[in-house]
Chains A and B, each alone.
Chain A
Amino acid sequence: MAQAAIELIGINKSFGAVRANRDINLEIVRGTIHGIVGENGAGKSTLMSILYGFYQADSGEIRVGGQPASIKTPNDAIALGIGMVHQHFMLVDNFTVLENVILGAESDALLKKSIAKARSELERLEREYGLEVDPDAIIEELPVGLQQRVEILKALYRGAEILILDEPTGVLTPAEADHLFRILKQLKEQGKTIVLITHKLREIMAITDTVSVMRQGTMVATRETKKTTVEELAELMVGRRVLLRVEKGEAEAGGVKLAVKNLTVKDSRGVTMVDDISFDVRAGEIVGIAGVAGNGQSEMLEAISGIRRAVSGSVMLDGKPIDLTGAADPGELRDRGLAHVPEDRHHVGLVLAFEENENSILGYHDHPRYLRGPFLNIDAIRNDARDRIAKYDIRPADCRLKTANFSGGNQQKIVLAREMEQDPGVLIVGQPTRGVDVGAIEFIHKRLIAMRDQGKAVLVVSVELDEIRSLSDRILVMFAGRIVGERGPDATEGELGLLMAGVEQREAAE
Chain B
Amino acid sequence: MDLFNAVIQVLDSTIRLSVPLLLACLAGLYSERAGIFDIGLEGKMLVGAFAGAAAASVFHSAYLGLGMAILISVAFALIHGFASITHRGNQIVSGVAINFIAAGSTIMLGQAWFQQGGRTPALASDERFGAIIWPGADALRGVPILGPIYSELISGHSVLVYVAFLAVPFTWWVLFRTRFGLRMRAVGENPAAVDTAGISVAWLRYRALICTGVLTGIAGAYLSMVQNGGFVKDMTAGKGYIALAALIFAKWKPVNAMFACLLFGFLDALSIRLQGTPLPVIGKVPVQLMQALPYILTVILLAGFIGKAIPPRAGGVPYVKER
Contacts and interface: CB of A to CB of B under 8 A. Distances in A.
A462 B199 CA distance: 40
B182 A99 contact: yes
B177 A73 contact: no
Contact of A112 (B177, B180, B181, B192): B177
A103 interface: yes
A106 B192 CA distance: 18
Given A109-B178, A112-B177, A90 B193 contact: yes
Interface in B284-323: 313, 321, 323
B123 interface: no
B189 A110 contact: no
A84 B195 CA distance: 12
A75 interface: yes
B178 A104 contact: no
Interface size class of chain A, counting residues whose CB lies under 8 Å from the partner chain: 20 to 34
A431 interface: no
A109 B198 contact: no
A450 interface: no
B189 A75 contact: no
A95 B189 contact: yes
Contacts of B196: 52, 54, 74, 84, 86, 90
Interface string B170-183: 00000011111111
B169 to A, nearest CB: 15
A102 B199 CA distance: 12
B190 interface: yes
Interface string A76-104: 01100000101010111111000110111
Query: Dominant SS at the A interface?
Result: loop
Could you say which of B183, B197, B321 has the most chain A C-beta atoms within 10 Å of its C-beta? B197
A52 B176 CA distance: 30
A110 B178 CA distance: 4
A108 interface: yes
A243 interface: no
A92 B180 contact: no
Contact of A93 (B176, B178, B190, B198): B190
Contacts, number: 72
B194 interface: yes
B29 interface: no
B192 A103 contact: no
Contact of A78 (B176, B180, B181, B198): B198
Contact of A111 (B178, B193, B198): B178
A476 B126 CA distance: 86
Given A91-B193, A103-B182, A74 B198 contact: yes
B186 interface: yes
A105 interface: yes
Contacts of A105: 197
A75 B198 contact: yes
13 contacts: A15-B323, A74-B195, A75-B198, A77-B198, A90-B195, A95-B185, A103-B186, A103-B199, A104-B198, A109-B178, A109-B180, A110-B178, A111-B176
3 nearest A-B residue pairs (beta carbon): A104-B197, A75-B198, A90-B193
Given A106-B179, A111-B181, 10 more contacts: A52-B196, A55-B321, A88-B192, A92-B185, A93-B189, A104-B198, A104-B199, A106-B182, A109-B178, A110-B179
